[in-house]
Amino acid sequence: MLTLQTIKENPEFVIERLAVKGFDGRAVIAEILEIDAERRRLQAKTDSDASELKKLAASIAMHMKAGEKEKAEEAKQEVARIKGATKGLQDRLEECRVKQIDLLLTVPNLPCDAVPAGLTADDNVVEATGGPMPELGDDALPHWELAKKYNLIDFELGVKVTGAGFPFYIGKGARLQRALIQFFLDSAGEAGYTEVEPPYVVNAASGYGTGQLPDKEGQMYHVTVDDLYLIPTAEVPVTNIYRDVIIPEAELPKMNCAYSPCWRREAGSYGKDVRGLNRLHQFDKVEIVRIEKPENSYAALEDMKAHVQSLLDRLGLPWHILRLCGGDMSFTSAITFDFEVWSGAQKRWLEVSSVSNFETYQANRLKCRYRDSQKKIHLCHTLNGSALALPRIMAALLENNQTPEGIIVPECLRKYTGFDIIN
């Protein structure tokens, strides 16, 4: 969440930047400031009362020592009166604190200056493009037909066992899926990321820490008996490694990667654009996460973008990078770049990665901080990105690499698959 200091220092700037995300923040910012003023007034009164109680305690001891029982009794009665009044002040102070946090949780992160104006995906900006476009005939098959033809993925079996959006990967399809995961993990390791294998369920505190709660609870699978959530991305458990942690400056940056299945309800997703692997309720993904000093985070963001681009280049997929406009960004992000690959048979772009800098927004929720050489404590910047999400990568690979002889496996995957063609 935004720091209170950010809002207090320049509320009009905050309101102006929130508008770039299509969020009207004037009323909530005014309420946050109003509650903060009351909180500070109550705190000042509470502190004053505490000081007075300390003086009265000393006077009681002095009167008792001097045998002045009546004066000591009067002082005791004043102590009782102040304590009674202070209890009410402390209760109201706690109410203000809770209300202020609740309000701060409703305010999105501020988009940085590089975020383009706009409210929908149509306003996103294509920043770069690359990779060879496939040369397919009009008879090219979409991936769901290829999956059936070569017995790679069984969507109907997934519906039988679980429901729509939970496919079975079979035979060479399962092996190709595993090869992609290993390729992404090995590449992340070569780039300096430390692999972790996180839990696939998290508690509510972890969801709040990275901003999935309270913003996206409708998209998360909730295990109500245990009050745990299936993770929508490995970002959640991996970033929460550093919740309530003060990191020595010399240990930054922290760079982790993780493979995990991911679960998203994707409520309201219907139609041809979600067919096959285009949108699933359970899917596999490799995530990269970085914890950075603020002055280094945008260089780190460029490094993460370059890493994702290199994966797509090695897979031989056509790609472009979108700089998301304010209205198409997530609640928690300060800037986001989406990578999309071209799906040759569907003739459309498919999102396969989002790379984002959250600046201090997540870190403030997480209390993820670092201690500098002067022993001062500062909030870190957090970043993450998909490197990569598998379903649409699989879809594009199947479609773009289809030939009359079969589906050609990219060279970078062959040491993992053990075969170079699916036929």
Domain boundary assignment for the chain: 4-104, 121-422
The CATH architecture to which 121-422 belongs is 2-Layer Sandwich (3.30)
d(CA 388, CA 386): 4
CB atoms near residue 325 (< 10 Å): 23
Give 146-194 pLDDT, tens digit per residue: 999 999 999 999 999 999 999 999 999 999 999 999 999 999 999 999 9
d(CA 175, CA 81): 75
Average pLDDT, the chain: 94
Give 317-348 pLDDT, tens digit per residue: 999 999 999 999 999 999 999 999 999 999 99
- Has residue 269 got a pLDDT over 80? no
SS3 357: strand
Give 24-65 pLDDT, tens digit per residue: 999 999 999 999 999 999 989 888 878 888 888 888 888 888
Task: Find the angle CA(299)-CA(302)-CA(308) to the nearest 5 degrees.
Answer: 145
The dihedrals phi and psi of 113, each to the nearest 5 degrees, come to: -60, -25
- Select the CATH number that applies to the domain covering 4-104 from these four: 1.10.10.10, 1.50.10.20, 2.60.120.260, 1.10.287.40: 1.10.287.40
What's the predicted TM-score (pTM) here? 0.92
In the block, tokens 């690959």 appear at 341
Contact 6, 14 (CB under 8 A): yes
